[in-house]
Structure 1
Amino acid sequence: MNWADIIGADFVVPAPQLPELTAKLSEALRSPDPVERDEHAYSILATWIQRGLLDEDRLLALGDQMARRFTDEPIQARTFAALILASIVSAGTFRAAWFDAFAAWYPTERDTRGHDPDLGWLHAVAHGADLLGAMGGHRRVDAGRALGLSVDRMIAPTTHVWRDQEDDRLAVAQARILTREDLTAATSIGWLAPVDRFLDQGEPGPVPPAASNTMRTLRMLYLLTDRGVRGADGRPRELAHADQVRERLTELLARFTPWAW
């Protein structure tokens, strides 16, 4: 079956074909062809998941497969695994082992390019952020651990400055986790302590890429403490301890730009 035909038919296929096509689409997520992978395989699978066309057993099996992909060799296999897992978790299906697999991969991924001329969108940081936001809002995920994982990603040593709104996507994930009603004020700001230690190690000279990535992520998060962040229902939600988080961010951003105020 032609993938474009499925999309043209409003993503509808006969139910008996779903298992076979799901397997083929899953494999296509590893393709180096950005049209096959992104425009076709991802679009179709994400739509089927959102519409509830895949039953719980099939979602669990697909999620297990995506979690294993975090150790795949092709970069696109790893990053699109995160994106499909985000769809599965957002649809209400979750395994704790998926978070463990994600946590082992996300802060250690070295290829953080947004776009490649041949492979198309890769977006490890952004796709991982989408998954982090979905998982970090789940009651079975420790919010402090999820927030700490976002810090590990920000301050990870790198030679690459994020350029395709990866910082914005990561800040949105952080903000969504910070809307959790079970968060204490201490947890809402305690996760930022590693940024202080990161800054203590700074030296005179050009701003390192990791410092730039961190600074710009925290600037967006500051804005979201004021405006709120869009939830899964499309409505803006306030952060649980917005005032305390905003004050803590002010302290950190002042350290990045001591000459500003």
Structure 2
Amino acid sequence: MTNWREIYENDCPLPAGPGLDELVAELAEALGDPDPEVRDGYPYAVLAAWIGRGVIDGERCLALGDLMVERFTHPRIEARTFAPLVLVMIVNQGHLRPEWIDAFADWYRSEADLRGRDETLGWLHAVAHGADLLGACGRRPEVDPGPLLVLAAERLLVPTDYLFAEREDNRLARALALVLTRPDLTPERSTAWLSTVGDAFVGMERGPMPVWASNTVRTLLALYALADLGVPTERGGNPVPLAHGAAVKARLAEVLRPVFPYA
């Protein structure tokens, strides 16, 4: 078993001995491990460093991405929800197959276990991790942003008993804002995805707000703030304006009015 902690603490060199393919396979296995100390620990940091530095080259990145896509149908929740984080690393390096987006969308709109954190399994975070991948794919110029915006709406509108408790609303709002920075979007395409949300709010019965609606309102309010202030494209970076921030804010106010009369 490779000592990933030692590799990390020495600035992630490529160790002598095992071949790179063997090491990548071991890292891939670790990123789906039920033990959160393994899955979300030193192997994760080393994998991110090696992909970011190009140690894991294009062909290996594509093969690793194919493996992560297979995990979207894995029986264990922690394997499913850490797959998008690995794909984010790969997509941010410019490696992306169109079929990955289809597989991701099938999983993201249908995942039923939305828990942020489990006492035994650690971080699961399906909504937040999926949002990170949605944002990464949505910034790629070769990807049509429209279906990804619709996908985010679909994810929000699925009935659930899980109330966002681990800042999932902020992560999904940030992903939406990142997609909405695309300069090729028109005002109409920047807002069309909100129509289904508006329809759902208009048809909602009076009384206690359903959990899905509360999650959705909080996400859209966070998006409103980002539409007003801009969204950093990287941690600590300067905010980037949305392509049509004013139009997005105006449409958000219309959509939220039935359930948030202060809008």
Moved more, 201-210 or 53-62: 201-210
Q: Check conservation: 2:69, 2:103, Cα contact below 8 A.
A: yes
Q: Deviations over 1:236-257 (max 9, x none)?
A: 2100000000111111222212
Counterpart for residue 195 of structure 2:
193
Q: Which stretches in structure 1 are left out of the alignment for 5+ residues?
A: none
Q: Deviations over 1:35-64 (max 9, x none)?
A: 000012222211211122111100000001
Counterpart for residue 255 of structure 1:
258
Q: Where in structure 2 are the equivalents of 1:157-168 lying within 5 Å?
A: 157-168=159-170
TM-score of the two chains, using structure 2 as the length reference = 0.95
Shift of 1:232: 4.3
Does the alignment pair 1:237 with 2:237? no
Shift of 1:126: 0.4
Q: Check conservation: 1:29, 1:38, Cα contact below 8 A.
A: yes
Q: Which stretches in structure 2 are left out of the alignment for 5+ residues?
A: none
Distance 1:44 1:106 in 2: 26
Q: Deviations over 1:171-216 (max 9, x none)?
A: 0000000000100110001110001111133112211110011000
Q: What letter corresponds to residue 230 of structure 1 in structure 2?
A: P
Secondary structure in structure 2 of the residue aligned to 1:191:
helix
Distance 1:120 1:221 in 2: 27
> Identity over aligned residues, as a percent?
51
Distance 2:148 2:67 in 1: 22
Counterpart for residue 5 of structure 1:
6
Q: Deviations over 1:70-94 (max 9, x none)?
A: 0001001111100000110011111
Distance 2:238 2:75 in 1: 38
Secondary structure in structure 2 of the residue aligned to 1:91:
coil
Q: Check conservation: 1:189, 1:244, Cα contact below 8 A.
A: yes
- The number of aligned residues is 260
Distance 1:214 1:46 in 2: 31
Alpha-carbon RMSD? 1.3
Distance 1:219 1:200 in 2: 17
Q: Check conservation: 1:107, 1:152, Cα contact below 8 A.
A: yes
Distance 1:172 1:28 in 2: 28
Secondary structure in structure 2 of the residue aligned to 1:255:
coil
Distance 1:164 1:214 in 2: 14
1:143 alignment partner, one of 121, 145, 158? 145
Q: Check conservation: 1:96, 1:140, Cα contact below 8 A.
A: no
Shift of 1:154: 0.9
Counterpart for residue 172 of structure 1:
174
Could you say if the C-alpha distance between residues 91 and 232 of structure 1 is closer, same or farther in structure 2, counting changes exceeding 3 Å? Answer: farther
Distance 1:50 1:37 in 2: 18
TM-score of the two chains, using structure 1 as the length reference = 0.96
Counterpart for residue 104 of structure 2:
102
1:116 alignment partner, one of 115, 118, 121? 118
Distance 1:79 1:237 in 2: 28
Distance 2:253 2:203 in 1: 19
Distance 1:254 1:151 in 2: 17
Q: What letter corresponds to residue 29 of structure 2 in structure 1?
A: E
Secondary structure in structure 2 of the residue aligned to 1:52:
coil
